[in-house]
Amino acid sequence: MNKKLQKEEQQFLQGPRARWRELKYTLGAVMQFIKGFRAMHFIGPCVTVFGSARFTEDHPYYKLAREVSYKIAQLGFAIMTGGGPGIMEAANRGAKDAGGYSIGCNILLAREQHINPYMDKFVTIDYFFVRKELLRKYSHAFIILPGGFGTLDEFFETVTLVQTKKMPYLPVILMGIDYHKALITHINTMIASNTISKEDSEIILFTDKIEEVLEHIRKYSISGVDLKIKSNYKPISILGEKA
């Protein structure tokens, strides 16, 4: 990770700074969004897969991510991930196995994160918040596999956006039931404590069955969705765009 960028992010979160520095940071974030928009504009509808960077290819969750992504790619969706190793690599690899389109939205980190070799296209983003919006913007469903703080952040923020109607209803599917037992228990505790409603919990499908995942996506994501890129989205050469 670029140490200058790391220092800039740390300083940004330490309170008010000179106005020109705040403007410079804001413009930098805007440019990161534009970079992402230009890279992702022609990829078509995606399903995003979230999960840990730490699982190796012989792990059951790596194999599950690869298999479910293979099946989803066969439905006609591009598979999008954070572009790194572990679950992300497995999902991109599954898409490639199926002859589908495989996308990554990578981020610069001090450790763990590196580009996996199973992507047709990827973009590297400096800021987590920009990256998360790009991972959501182009997706019609979200698969959450076992992971750490980052995966849970992506999961709960996506669910919150659906709950508060900042996003339309899109399937959020939690896989790895045994791994997520304590999380599922906590969600039930929130329902019992009335901090969320029973309807809020129904945003999430809990399953390890790939056919249930596919049926859920068919029901809520494919209905009324054109899986082809809209014909009026034409590349503009002056912006460096390619079909």
Q: Evaluate if pTM is beyond 0.85.
A: yes
Q: What is the reported pLDDT for 99?
A: 96
**HSE-up of 226 (CA within 13 Å, CB side)?**
4
Q: What is the reported pLDDT for 121?
A: 93
Neighbours of 171 (CB within 10 A): 21
Report the distance separating Cα 147 and Cα 149, nearest Å.
7
Give tens-digit pLDDT for 73-84: 999 999 999 999
Give tens-digit pLDDT for 149-195: 999 999 999 999 999 999 999 999 999 999 999 999 999 999 999 99
Residue 225 has pLDDT above 90, yes or no: no
Give every CB contact of residue 29 below 8 A, 6+ residues apart in sequence. 127, 129, 130
Give every CB contact of residue 224 below 8 A, 6+ residues apart in sequence. none
Residue 243 has pLDDT above 80, yes or no: no
Residue 51 has pLDDT above 70, yes or no: yes
Which amino acid appears at position 166 of this protein?
A: K
Residue 164 CB burial class (10 angstroms; 0-12, 13-18, ≥19) = exposed
The structural domains of the chain, ordered by start, are 52-117+128-139 (3.40.50.450), 162-221 (no CATH)
Encoded tokens for 131: 């990256």
Residue 1 has pLDDT above 70, yes or no: no
| Percent of the chain whose pLDDT exceeds 90 | 76
Q: What is the CA radius of gyration of the chain?
A: 18
Q: What is the reported pLDDT for 227?
A: 53
Strands across the sheet containing 46-50? 121-125, 102-107, 78-81, 46-50, 139-144, 172-174, 204-206
Give tens-digit pLDDT for 84-128: 999 999 999 999 999 999 999 998 776 656 889 999 999 999 999
* C-alpha distances out from residue 31 to 27, 35, 41, 110, Å: 6, 6, 15, 22
Element (H, E) at 205: strand 204-206
Encoded tokens for 124: 């590297």
Helix H segments across the chain?
A: 3-12, 19-40, 60-74, 87-97, 128-137, 149-163, 181-192, 198-201, 210-217
First CA to last CA distance, the chain:
31
Residue 229 has pLDDT above 70, yes or no: no
